[in-house]
A and B are shown apart, each in its own frame.
Chain A
Amino acid sequence: MIQIEREYDMKRFLGFVKKEFLHIFRDFRTLIILFGIPVVQILLFGFVVSTEIKDAGIAFLDLSKDEISRKVIHKTVSSGFFSYSGELTSIGEADRIMKEGKAKAVVIFEPQFGEKLFREKSAAVSIIADGSEPNTATLITHYLTAIIQNYNQELTGSRVGEIVPVKAEVSMFYNPELKSHFMFVPGVITLILILICALMTSVTITREKEFGTMEVLLVSPLRPIQIILGKVTPYFLLSFINVILILLLSWLVFGLPVKGSVALLLAESMLYILMALSLGILISTVSKTMQQAIFISLVGLLLPTILLSGFIFPIENMHPAYHWVSSILPPRYFITIIKNIMIKGTGLGFVWKETLILAGMTLLFMLLSIRNFKTRLE
């Protein structure tokens, strides 16, 4: 008797899962977007977003207009980092051109630049950078300084011997070619998984609530846990396919293979997906409408995930208080895990702490959801 009951139970559950799958596959557009988002984002990050300086506009105020200052200008413009945005005639124009946003920096040569350089052995260049973009401003200043110094050396180079008492050799570990992909691939996986999973689950459950179909499910012989599992299973599989897709892309397009164990990475991804799904369930138990669920997952999670997970901005550089804030955000741990397994090729021994924390968070979200899940309608 009990045996038969169990069989029915399983059948019912599978039927429910099938229904959920049908719901998803019926909506072709969502499906396309679901797989389109990761692909486009990976490509976007690989080819578009970079913090390097390229073609930054530089204007020159050459009060000297001699051979040397011309040469410095030529060196700067031909370096590849900068583009020439014009010659100024007075310092007042510097403010103008930067206010219009046409130049990021202005280089000023003092009058009789070349003459002073050879007669008085010293001539002055002044760099004024647009500090409203601090990172760009510092990089531009560094590059300009380096270019001018190099030129300075070229001028003097023939006349001096070179002694460097302490030479340093550097080896860049894990990423010898200094590719930026090593930062963004883990970041994109983390960002996409948490947002898509949390969004999808929270929306599908609140949808049933909002439309009143939850009632139908609740009076069915399905138990609440089966309802939730049934809702989550399809998304679990879809997200998992997404992970594989992203890993394949990062390998084929950017040549970033998984150094460590692929099985371990996939297992960790499953854990992370599970965490994100339970977060989604939790969001759905506290939201009455889809609008609310979407608002929480999209507006509430998007920026903190981008900014505080160490995705673009390293956490180490933040104020110590933010180390605490970021430690309650799950993405941070997953980024560490992926970087370890994928790039460093380390095993579970290096990431067991992060794994445990993620597992703990998953458990916490699940318990909270079960407590909040109402089997009755108000």
Chain B
Amino acid sequence: MRTTLYLIRKEFLQIFRNKFISKAIFAVPIVQMLLLVPAVTFEIKNVDLCVVDMDLSTASRSLITRLEGSSFFRVNQQSFSLEEAQKLLHRDQCDMILHIPTGFGRDLVRDQGSSVMVSANAINASTAQLSWAYLNGVLRDYNMELIAEMTGNSGSVAGSGSITGAGSLAGAESAGLPGTTVISGKGTLPEALPRISITNRYWYNELLTYSWFMLPGILGILITAIGFVLAGLNLVREKEVGTIEQINVTPVKKVQFMASKMIPFLLIGLIDLALGLAIGRLVFHIPFEGSAGLLFLGSAIYLVAVLGLALLVSTFSSTQQQFMFVAFFIMILFILMSGVFTPVESMPLWAQKVNLANPLVYLMRINRMVMLKGSEFGDISGNIGALLIIAALFMGFAVRKYRKTA
């Protein structure tokens, strides 16, 4: 025990002797949290719309006014030729084109039917789809109004399509379902139709604040990166420089040595976690529904798993460069598959199987569940158990694989 303590002390001295690393291990997470957490959002705002209004009628203008009135679109370009507008789309100066053909207003009155053309830059498929859904929502409202005017009845018709939706997206319920508007027969007063009214609420994060969602994720990635890189490099460096042989000839046991390589980084990781949680509470006002102890328990087991893996990789690597590439590879894999940015459920089944061995998946769940939902030990026990198994496996292999002979 005393041997281990001495070894740990030695590691701490080595870490804090390096001026850069000793500052960076705390400064990097703080700066990145403050910088990155508020940055990320999936919420779409300010879609730049270019309007090609060939009709210039009252009808077309009223449609444009509607679009201008929505906070989602920004009508930033007007053009009178479709080619011109497509050039703008090509140059990224607008995201969407609304083309209102000549005779739009006339057809509307004469044939009671008219059409517009929309072109969207779909390189980002999901943004394009959502923008189209929004535009469709605006069009539908416009249609409702037109119908109401035609039938001379505004109350019941306009009501039949409206949905009480919370959140900012309430215009696009029929996402991806263009032309779903069904409106009662022309000219006659609509008879009341059976209508399912839908209300919705978001629990745990009423206003869908993105920073609440991102903070646990970014915090998890940061403690992973710092622990993994530092612990692994530390051991490989001893190998590369040759100082490991000096340890090997001492009576220090394998377990003691591995423990001394792990515990300092475990502590640093937990301090970073505490810093991150403090930032979350003070700067981003994340509600702490659950117990902090549970968070630390989850992260501690997680760190043992990650550090075990780092040590395992470093016993296989002979140079820091080798380790670094493997670390890069593993970290990218962990991060992108962990559900930090994209839902785990939408991955194919085989990927979800691979994910069973990805400790970051469990940490993400634990962090979000405990912080935002106030889940208790019983709720997350499965995840904790899985982390324990992974930690034991990685650590066990690392100790086994480490050879005291050179």
Q: Which residues of A contact B (CB under 8 A)?
A: 27, 29-30, 33-34, 36-37, 40-41, 44-45, 47-57, 72, 95, 98-101, 104, 117-118, 121-138, 141-146, 148-153, 155-157, 159-176, 178-180, 182-183, 195-196, 199-200, 203-204, 207, 211, 287-292, 294-296, 298-300, 302-304, 306-308, 312-314, 316-319, 322, 325, 336, 339, 343-344, 346, 350
Choice from A132, A180, A295 contacting B126 with Cβ under 8 Å: A180
A138 touches B115 (CB 8 A): no
The complex places the Cα of A80 from the Cα of B13 at a distance, in Å, of 56
8 pairs of residues in contact across A and B, judged by CB atoms under 8 Å: A44-B333, A49-B337, A163-B147, A164-B143, A287-B20, A288-B20, A290-B233, A325-B39
Closest chain-B Cβ to A245's Cβ sits at a distance in Å of 15
Mark each residue of chain B from 164 to 204: 1 if its CB lies under 8 Å from any CB of chain A, else 0: 01010100111111111111111000101111111111111
A291 touches B233 (CB 8 A): yes
Closest chain-B Cβ to A290's Cβ sits at a distance in Å of 5
Choice from A125, A164, A167 contacting B198 with Cβ under 8 Å: A125
Contacting residues of chain B (349-363) with chain A, CB-CB under 8 angstroms: 351
Choice from B43, B122, B225, B333 contacting A172 with Cβ under 8 Å: B122
Q: Which residues of B contact A (CB under 8 A)?
A: 18, 20-21, 24, 28, 32, 35-36, 38-46, 63, 89-92, 95, 108, 112-129, 132-133, 135-136, 139, 142-143, 146-147, 150, 163, 165, 167, 169, 172-186, 190, 192-206, 208-210, 212-213, 218, 221-222, 225-226, 229-230, 233-234, 237, 241, 317, 319-322, 324-329, 331-333, 335-337, 341-343, 345-348, 351, 365, 368-369, 372-376, 379
B125 touches A44 (CB 8 A): no
B116 touches A135 (CB 8 A): no
B347 touches A132 (CB 8 A): no
B194 touches A317 (CB 8 A): no
A298 touches B327 (CB 8 A): yes
Most chain A CB neighbours (cut-off 10 Å) among B41, B221, B321, B348 = B321
With A47-B351, A290-B233: A156-B203 Cβ-Cβ less than 8 Å:
no
With A98-B203, A133-B343: A51-B320 Cβ-Cβ less than 8 Å:
no
A295 touches B229 (CB 8 A): yes
Choice from A122, A164, A289 contacting B18 with Cβ under 8 Å: A289
B116 touches A168 (CB 8 A): yes
Q: Which residues of A contact B112 (CB under 8 A)?
A: 163, 165
B183 touches A162 (CB 8 A): yes
B368 touches A132 (CB 8 A): yes
Most chain B CB neighbours (cut-off 10 Å) among A44, A54, A167, A204 = A167
A122-B196, A296-B24, A298-B331 given; name 5 further pairs at CB < 8 Å.
Answer: A99-B369, A138-B208, A145-B198, A162-B183, A314-B124
B324 touches A203 (CB 8 A): yes
B226 touches A49 (CB 8 A): no
A101 touches B365 (CB 8 A): yes
Question: Nearest residue in B to A310 (C-beta to C-beta)?
Answer: B124
Choice from B28, B320, B351 contacting A299 with Cβ under 8 Å: B28
Q: Which residues of B contact A99 (CB under 8 A)?
A: 369, 373-376, 379
Closest chain-B Cβ to A59's Cβ sits at a distance in Å of 13
B182 touches A153 (CB 8 A): yes
Choice from B147, B178, B184, B221 contacting A170 with Cβ under 8 Å: B178
Question: Nearest residue in A to B354 (C-beta to C-beta)?
Answer: A48
Q: Which residues of B contact A125 (CB under 8 A)?
A: 196-199
